[in-house]
Copies of this chain bind each other. A is one copy, B any other.
């Protein structure tokens, strides 16, 4: 396998972007990444997107985006793994370059979620669960994650204040991110006093419905220093794993086995251990998710994730800064874009270009993206070259 580097990054703002269509968003992020890399062509491209069919009545996104980006006839493929579609697309682009089939590859993620009603968006998102056993029965994602939170609270004495601490930290980080959808500073009491969506999850425990796109440019690592205008960042580990799609089929509601296994594969490939990671973007679709993921990645012992966030271990300046971008919670969660946006943030951190959110001397970072209740998970480890 050839070593692969990221040499360009691009990001749109996240939010209710009523002036921009699905294709506008992808093209904006892609053009920014191409400009950031300073390249004059691409060999192939990927589009991570969860459900453009249900959100805007458009499939065939590879061809659509290649065309609107002015890049046809390059090979272009859409990749889907629910909310991990962006991470899965990054992995496909990585394999494309690693195989030797392509040299310069664009990987973009996009979702346009606000053109439909809240009910329709909730229905579209529920297609990431087991349609026949979960969605059809009426449960949606806040309910599923509430079950996981209840189990974690019961077994490990995790508290609502600890869940709230995730949101408070991520909004504090997001307030320093110009791309964030909700850069507002909030308090633990704000979270606890916000409307209950699915006990114990308040609305401020939940990530929002967002429009947005993100993109990165990949190339062989041995060409990166010549091509790249910035410090190139190498993908030193890429892992993907799956779990039962239905939550009720899991032996343990408090574990995220696919995350643990995807991370194990990435750590093994990179010859790294959790303590090597200096900055990490994780999939905080709900506050409980960040706590469970921080345990699954090996940063904290099982059941200690709640305490870790409450005591500042995951804040900027803490033991392992998590979601410096503001995470899905504050930056926003355009689902197909999220996995790619995580890579954009880590590259900015490793380049030293994260401004007010910068983690000092960060050289090694990680992204963790997941679909559904963790039925699919993708983990990448990135290292400054």
Contact = CB atoms under 8 A, between A and B. Distances in A.
Interface of A: 1, 21, 23, 44, 50-54, 56-64, 66-67, 71-82, 88, 91-92, 95-96, 98-101, 123-124, 127-132, 135, 238-246, 249, 257-258, 261-262, 371-372, 375-376
Given A51-B53, A73-B258, A245 B375 contact: no
Contacts of A130: 64
A242 B63 contact: yes
B76 A376 contact: yes
A63 B100 contact: no
Contacts of A246: 67
28 contacts: A21-B132, A50-B59, A52-B127, A53-B124, A53-B127, A54-B54, A56-B131, A57-B135, A58-B127, A60-B80, A60-B81, A62-B80, A63-B82, A63-B242, A71-B242, A72-B243, A72-B375, A73-B257, A73-B258, A75-B239, A75-B242, A76-B376, A77-B81, A77-B92, A78-B81, A79-B80, A79-B92, A95-B99
Nearest to A73: B241
B127 A73 contact: no
Q: Which of A54, A56, A78 has the most CB of B within 10 A?
A: A78
Given A54-B54, A60-B372, A242-B66, A88 B77 contact: yes
A1 B60 contact: no
Contact of A74 (B76, B238, B242): B242
Contact of A67 (B96, B135, B245): B245
Contact of A63 (B21, B60, B243): B243
Nearest to A76: B242
Contacts of A78: 79-81
Contacts of A258: 63, 72-73
A61 B371 CA distance: 11
Contacts of A77: 79-81, 88, 91-92, 240
A77 B128 CA distance: 13
A61 B239 CA distance: 18
Contact of A98 (B92, B100, B241): B100
Contact of A99 (B98, B240, B245, B375): B98
A289 to B, nearest CB: 16
Given A53-B127, A54-B53, A80-B80, A243 B73 contact: yes
A53 B127 CA distance: 7
Given A50-B59, A57-B127, A78-B80, 6 more contacts: A51-B53, A60-B245, A73-B241, A73-B243, A76-B81, A76-B376
A23 B133 CA distance: 13
Contacts of A51: 53, 59
Nearest to A56: B131
Given A53-B127, A92-B92, A242-B73, A79 B79 contact: yes
Nearest to A371: B60
Nearest to A124: B53
A60 B44 CA distance: 24
Contacts of A44: 240
Nearest to A54: B53
